[in-house]
Amino acid sequence: MFDPVCPSDLTPIRFGDKWAGMIIRCLEDGPRRFSELRIPLRGVTAKVLTGSLRALERDGLIRRTVCAGPERRVDYELTPLGRSLLEPMAAACEWAEQHWDELLDAREASSLDRTG
């Protein structure tokens, strides 16, 4: 799923911490539960995801809602500010896609310098 965003951390552009960019994209289409977020973000532990979510909340990019009811359930959704971030993110993705090959070539060339 996150191939188009940052295939191998190759692009020099990053949004927040390691998971912030992916979290924002996960929330793009509407609110998601804590456990829903853990599915696409394969490998993220609860603690780290909590940390990222708290940071995003502190910056006013997402809103955390504890839903009433018998079952414990917490929803996260983008605030208008968070949603506005999608624009520069799209610009960053476009740049990454356009210059993907050049980035790869540069890495290859510099690794060849070291070996030969």
Which residues here bind its own copies, judged by CB under 8 A? 12-16, 20, 57-61, 81, 84-85, 87-88, 91-92, 94-95, 98-99, 102-103, 105-107, 109-110
Q: Which of 39, 50, 94, 95 binds DNA (CB under 7 A)?
A: 50
Number of residues that bind DNA (CB under 7 A): 23
Closest to DNA by CB, 7 or 94: 7
Place of tokens 């809602």: 65
Q: Phi/psi class of residue 49: alpha, beta or left (left: φ > 0; alpha: ψ in -120 to 50)?
A: alpha
CA 107, CA 99: separation in Å to the nearest integer? Answer: 13
**Contact present, 27 and 82 (Cβ < 8 Å):** yes
Give contact residues for DNA (rule: CB under 7 A). Answer: 17-19, 33-36, 43-48, 50-54, 64, 71-74
